[in-house]
Homo-oligomer: A and B are copies of this chain.
């Protein structure tokens, strides 16, 4: 059997992964959801034919979107995750002993149901008793909530369709209000090679609300271009943060030096964002 899942990763660019078996393929109220057993990446979760995560490289994404803001904060107790219904971010957040509550707001219950069934290595922490899971629109939740969080992590799909509002000025304003006085916000902001316009806009919008805004990068082989960006904003904490904090901790991708090096931007990204000559 020579069957391939192919993602159109952008104009004129495709990635293909060989499929051994289709484990799930369904249409929820929001999107098409599929899980494939691949020959080289383990199980692969796709939403509307876009790769969200694979068992082989999910660690690189989940560790970087979680541990950087967590260690920049230093002692987060209450963490909000918007999106991330597969549970990968929850798993990483719970590696921090200071955490008392992880609130997960996922719009699509089908994503979580399928992740629980087919991606146990990613979703298993969803049943931890510190986790509060709610299926609703994250934009509305953040607009309406009176809760306060130490870290907000936006683990969302590409900025098309329902996710557009997660990259809006209003959303960042609501995120600021829902953060405690030493709160830290992070959002995945796509590829520095292909989506620099988006990154520039997000950075500009975040600066309207947050005094400290930065960008860091990490490799994710199955995402377009293989290099991914994360926009981070704080209410005052310096970036990249106290280098001594994470020295005792390492993941499979993340360690204290990876944390600091991730803030060093290739010259074409640094120039575009108008940062200092070097960071």
Question: Of B13, B16, B267, which contacts A13 at CB under 8 A?
Answer: B16
Number of A residues contacting the other chain (C-beta, 8 Å)?
50
Question: Of B14, B18, B252, which contacts A268 at CB under 8 A?
Answer: B252
Question: Per-position contact with B for A227-255: 1 when CB-CB < 8 Å, else 0?
Answer: 10000000000000000000100111111
A278: interface (CB < 8 Å): yes
A4 to B14 CA separation, bound complex (whole angstroms): 9
A247 to B267 CA separation, bound complex (whole angstroms): 12
Question: Do B253 and A264 have beta carbons less than 8 Å apart?
Answer: no
A15: interface (CB < 8 Å): yes
Question: Of B6, B219, B258, which contacts A226 at CB under 8 A?
Answer: B219
A161: interface (CB < 8 Å): no
Report copies per complex: 2
Q: What are 30 of the A-B contact pairs (CB < 8 Å)? A: A4-B14, A6-B16, A11-B39, A12-B17, A12-B18, A12-B38, A12-B39, A12-B41, A13-B18, A13-B40, A13-B41, A14-B16, A15-B16, A16-B16, A193-B219, A219-B219, A219-B226, A221-B224, A221-B226, A225-B226, A226-B226, A250-B267, A252-B266, A253-B266, A253-B267, A254-B266, A255-B266, A255-B270, A257-B278, A258-B266
Tell me the residues in window 1-55 of chain A with beta carbons closer than 8 Å to chain B beta carbons: 4, 6, 10-18, 38-41
Q: Which residues of B contact A277 (CB under 8 A)?
A: 255
Q: Which residues of B contact A146 (CB under 8 A)?
A: none
Q: Which residues of B contact A12 (CB under 8 A)?
A: 17-18, 38-41
In the complex where A14-B4, A15-B15, A15-B16 touch, is A219 in contact with B266 (Cβ < 8 A)?
Answer: yes
